[in-house]
Structure 1
Amino acid sequence: MTNQLNAQELFRAAYENRYTWDENFPGYTAQIQLRQGDEIYAGQVRINRDLSVEVSGIENEEVQQSVYTQLRDVITHRKRNSFEQSHGKNTFTLGATDETGAMEILVSGDAMGSNYKIRGQEICQVSRVMGRMAFTIDTYESLDTGEGYLASRYDATFRNPTTGEFLQKLQFEDNYELVGNYWLMTHQVVRSTDGNGQVTTTEFSFSDVKLLEPALV
């Protein structure tokens, strides 16, 4: 029981130390430029107060969808959910501590078979299985906003959950700026390595980032 309680308390402290947007977040607009190899695309993005995403001005539908997906991923990590909402039904136990000092947190009751590692008050690894895909996200650097941490350099490795075969690796480098009272992404570089070792680099640049006017009550 003590082991479970300690594991839950440690994980909860790290979970609640993530930087998220509060209930007053008004949304924002920005200009987007996406660069992949010699190809450059430009358009506009809008994140609404309800965290819905709009992408416009990009004629290539595949690129527009890529920008939309990227922003949805960002929002998933900025959306504020209480610990009880996200993990209230789960049970936590401590696993091993690795050579870097990161502690393994084993979870039961999670539909996606999630396990974690925490270092200090930060989640530094997430491992999950989603259908035919298993993935592990390792965080190497983070930004301390004073209101929680933001992962700024991290990898996502995808494998076949049955065979362990390597499928893809994504390496991320993120930059944020404080706009008004909110930290918003201004730049992201994603290096994708496929199963054949081919590397593709995609760069997202956001400029003219402006918060929307708060809704009148």
Structure 2
Amino acid sequence: MKNLKEQSCKDIFKNAYEKRYTWNTDFKGYKGKCTYLFEDNSYEGEFLLGEDFKPEIKNIDEENIKKSIASQLFEVCIHRVKREFNSVHSENNFNLLKSSENGIEMNVSGRNEGDKYRVKDDCINMVYRKIHGTIIEIFVEEFFDTGVGFLSKKYTSQQINPKTLESNSQKIEYKDEFINIGKKDYWILNSRSIKYLNQNQEEEIQKFVFEDLSLLK
């Protein structure tokens, strides 16, 4: 039988997990116009994101820009997939690390040994996960309540070396805006700003804008 702390942490995490915003299972994809802004440069094109989550960027010739836009679309949509809690975390246990004004922090034992999460106000505001041999650490500063689930609106992301546990990338700041399209509460990324320091320790901002959005049938 699980001890009380382990059981309650799992319940707390499950509740927050199930309150994340996800798309309906009948999602067919969407399309629209895309704009990439960096310094004084602007690139405008069109995109189509099918139900296979493979973005297609049109009317932009620069391959690096197309890849950058496509990666943002893919990264956002992959987090909108609805996956039942038990299918993802049935082999994990959640153990209390500490509780503070920032939330309830817990680590994972079992299948995803070493992962950590923090939950506050029914939202997961810290993620510390090993993905493809690298630890990704995310802190969410602000959430957007869609009415049918929460979306991360303002957050930071950084890579951690799993051997030294030291950062091996700079901290990147994200700010997202969303818009509701369709008749079934489909909240779609409207814009994303990415802020970071370049090699000269100067602040740079990339911005992605997605407009004229419509669902595929």
Task: Tell me the TM-score normalised to structure 1 length.
Answer: 0.90
| Residue 207 (structure 1) aligns with | 211
Evaluate the alpha carbon distance shift between residue 111 and residue 58 of structure 1 in structure 2; reply closer, same or farther with a 3 A threshold.
Answer: farther
On the 8 A contact 2:107/2:114 being kept in 1, the answer is no
Counterpart code for 2:6: Q
Counterpart code for 1:179: I
Query: In the alignment, is residue 53 of structure 1 matched against residue 64 of structure 2?
Result: no
On the 8 A contact 1:143/1:149 being kept in 2, the answer is yes
On the 8 A contact 2:140/2:155 being kept in 1, the answer is yes
SS of the residue 2:75 aligns to: helix
Counterpart code for 1:8: K
Distance, in Å, in 1 between the alignment partners of 2:133 and 2:203 is 23
**Seq. identity, %:** 29
Question: Which of residues 186, 190, 193 is equivalent to 1:189?
Answer: 193
Evaluate the alpha carbon distance shift between residue 115 and residue 95 of structure 1 in structure 2; reply closer, same or farther with a 3 A threshold.
Answer: same
Distance, in Å, in 1 between the alignment partners of 2:167 and 2:203 is 18
SS of the residue 2:26 aligns to: coil
On the 8 A contact 2:53/2:78 being kept in 1, the answer is no
On the 8 A contact 1:29/1:212 being kept in 2, the answer is yes
Q: CA RMSD of the aligned region, Å?
A: 1.8
Structure 2 residues without counterparts, runs of 5 or longer? none
**Alpha-carbon offset, residue 177 of structure 1:** 0.8
| Residue 151 (structure 1) aligns with | 152
Within 5 Å, give how 1:144-183 maps onto structure 2.
144-161=145-162, 162=164, 164-165=166-167, 167-180=169-182, 181=184, 182-183=186-187
Within 5 Å, give how 1:133-148 maps onto structure 2.
133-148=134-149
Distance, in Å, in 2 between the alignment partners of 1:92 and 1:187 is 34
Evaluate the alpha carbon distance shift between residue 163 and residue 101 of structure 1 in structure 2; reply closer, same or farther with a 3 A threshold.
Answer: closer
Counterpart code for 1:121: D
Distance, in Å, in 2 between the alignment partners of 1:208 and 1:63 is 20
**Alpha-carbon offset, residue 49 of structure 1:** 2.4
Counterpart code for 2:213: V
Aligned length: 212
Question: Which of residues 15, 20, 35 is equivalent to 1:13?
Answer: 15
Deviations 1:113-165 (A, max 9, x none): 32100002100000123456333111111111111001111111233331514
Counterpart code for 2:209: S
On the 8 A contact 2:31/2:215 being kept in 1, the answer is yes
**Alpha-carbon offset, residue 200 of structure 1:** 2.1
Distance, in Å, in 2 between the alignment partners of 1:125 and 1:212 is 33
SS of the residue 1:23 aligns to: coil
